[in-house]
Structure 1
Amino acid sequence: MKIVVIALGALALTACMESRPAPMPAPAGACDAAPVQALIGKPAGPSFVEKVRRQSGSALARRITPEMRVTMDFRADRVNVWVSTNGTAERITCG
Structure 2
Amino acid sequence: MKQRAIAVGIIGIVAACSTAQETGMVGPAPEPDPMMTECAAPQLQYLVGQRIGEVDTSTLPQPHRVVPHGMAVTMEFRAERTTVWLDANDRVERVVCG
Q: TM-score range by the shorter chain?
A: 0.5 to 0.7
Q: What are structure 2's unaligned runs of at least 5 residues?
A: 1-25
- Which has more radius of gyration? 2
Aligned: 1:84 with 2:93: no
Give 4+ residue runs of structure 1 displaced > 6 Å after superposition: none
Aligned to 2:15: none
TM-score (structure 2 length as normaliser): 0.60
Measured in 2, the distance between the counterparts of 1:50 and 1:35 equals: 16
Question: 1:31 is aligned with what amino acid?
Answer: C
Residue 73 of structure 2: which of 70, 73, 76 is its match?
A: 70
Aligned to 1:26: 34
RMSD: 2.5
Question: 2:80 is aligned with what amino acid?
Answer: D
Give, in angstroms, the shift of residue 63 of structure 1.
1.1
Within-5 A mapping of 1:3-14: none
Q: What are structure 1's unaligned runs of at least 5 residues?
A: 1-17
TM-score (structure 1 length as normaliser): 0.62
- Matched residue pairs, number? 74
